[in-house]
Amino acid sequence: MDQKQFDKIVERQTPKPVMFFSIIKAFLIGGAICTIGQLITFFYIRFFPFTERTAANPTVATMIFIVMILTGTGLYKKISQVGGAGSAVPVTGFGNAVVSAAIEHKSEGYVLGVGGNIFKLAGSVIVFGVFSAFCVALIKTILVKMGVVSW
């Protein structure tokens, strides 16, 4: 049996995903996560001295904290199995990636296992985020100095 015949057999045996329902589930799960985030933002605005702009940071921290608890208890895995890409909303995906790596490498010890592997995926996200923020701030500073935009 050559590679082409093998590929044909694999293609016949592989179940075809129902894309329409996968997209709907991803939309609903992602929308639910975003709705929870918005409710948390409203909570901070209503009960604490935050504005809509300043409530963003504690909202993100709260969302990451909730996802870390859900990942640790195994509930987020079930949510992501149903929601697929909808559960990978950037904030929740980040929290899930950090805790999943920590749980996976816990058996290797806290320093070399958890500490050495916790930021394998999340580290690149953090570096890219910091670098992107620097570039955007640099471009804005140049545009302000040129008088194109106002501060």
Buried b / exposed e over 113-128, threshold 16 CB at 10 Å, is bbeebbbeebeeeeee
Query: Please, is 6 exposed, middle or buried when counting C-beta atoms within 10 Å of its C-beta (0-12, 13-18, 19+)?
Result: exposed
CB 96 within 8 A of CB 71: yes
Instruction: Check residue 15 and report its DSSP letter.
Output: P
How far, CA to CA in Å, does 86 sit from each of 89, 101, 145? 6, 20, 41
pLDDT tens digit string along 50-60? 999 999 999 99
- pTM for this model (two decimals): 0.69
What tens digit of pLDDT does each residue of 8-45 get? 898 888 887 778 888 999 999 999 999 999 999 999 99
Euclidean distance between CA atoms 137 and 142, whole angstroms: 9
Distance CA 124, CA 120 (A): 7
pLDDT digits (tens, 9 = 90+) for 59-114: 999 999 999 999 999 999 999 899 888 888 778 888 888 888 888 777 888 777 77
Q: By the 8 A CB rule, do 29 and 82 touch?
A: yes
Query: What is the 3-state composition of the chain as percent helix, strand, coil, each rounded to the nearest 5?
Result: 85, 0, 15
**Alpha-carbon span 38 to 62, nearest angstrom:** 11
Alpha carbons 95 and 69: distance in angstroms, whole number: 9
